[in-house]
Amino acid sequence: MSNTPTITSDYQESIESYRQLITSTGEDLERPGLGDTPMRAAKAFAHLTKGYHQSLDKVVNDALFPSTNRELVLVQNIEFYSLCEHHMLPFHGIAHVGYLPNGQVLGLSKFARIVDMFARRLQVQENLSEQVAQTIMDVTGCRGVAVVMDASHMCMMMRGVSKQHTTTRTTAMLGEFVHDNQARMEFLSAIPRRQPAF
């Protein structure tokens, strides 16, 4: 699972699937321009779903450090790109992650890596927010985690209701953020206002 797929073996099934998909539109796979498209698309899809092959241990990489700080740590404006599991169309946006340390802190870049690990899968935004929050809770043993994600969904913009300016905000709160209104308000007032669609 953890090995990087090679073009010759692991991509073969995916390449064949893309060949069939392109052919199903009536396109001519032999025409110039499409020759390497199935292979390129297979590689791109592997990248967009590489979160399935990442291990949390490797992502965190022992970047936990002792700390007496118990106040809110906020990592904001983490951009992410994902694929909705209903249409396999992209959704993308910004994540804000806050947590209340309990004796140790996690290296700051790891929050972005954890967001990516779960975003690079077939997802729904609601679950993505929860998975990021729960993972940070489990990894750090902190007192609480708050995650807010604002995203634009191509399945709403390019098809269906075709709304170009709609954004979706999802929230996941764990630990002290669940019942401590002061902690919630501190987090929610510190993060940027809802992002416009882009």
Which positions are catalytic?
84-87, 125, 153, 155
Determine, following the binding rule CB under 5 A, whether residue 84 of this chain makes contact with Zn ion.
Answer: yes
Among 87, 90, 113, 137, binds Zn ion (CB under 5 A): 87
125-140 and 109-119 helices, crossing angle to 10°: 140
In the bound complex, what is the minimum distance in angstroms from residue 3's beta carbon to Zn ion? 30
User: Which of these segments, 18-26, 79-87, 94-102, 111-119, binds Zn ion (CB under 5 A)?
Assistant: 79-87
97 versus 119: smaller Cβ distance to Zn ion:
119
Give the closest residue to 76 by CA, choosing from 180, 146, 28, 15: 146
Radius of gyration for the chain, computed over Cα atoms and rounded to the nearest angstrom: 20
Among 47, 58, 70, 86, binds Zn ion (CB under 5 A): 86
Among 155, 168, 171, 195, binds Zn ion (CB under 5 A): 155
3-state helix, strand, coil in the chain (%, to 5): 40, 25, 35
User: Which of these segments, 23-31, 43-51, 128-136, 151-159, binds Zn ion (CB under 5 A)?
Assistant: 151-159
Q: Which residue has the tokens 């990248």?
A: 47
User: Which of these segments, 35-43, 87-95, 109-117, 124-132, binds Zn ion (CB under 5 A)?
Assistant: 87-95
- Of 89-148, binders to Zn ion (CB under 5 A) are none
Q: CA 3, CA 156: separation in Å to the nearest integer?
A: 35
Question: Which residue stretches of the chain are H helix?
Answer: 12-24, 37-48, 56-60, 109-119, 125-140, 154-157, 176-179, 181-190
Report the interface residues with Zn ion, using CB under 5 A: 84, 86-87, 155
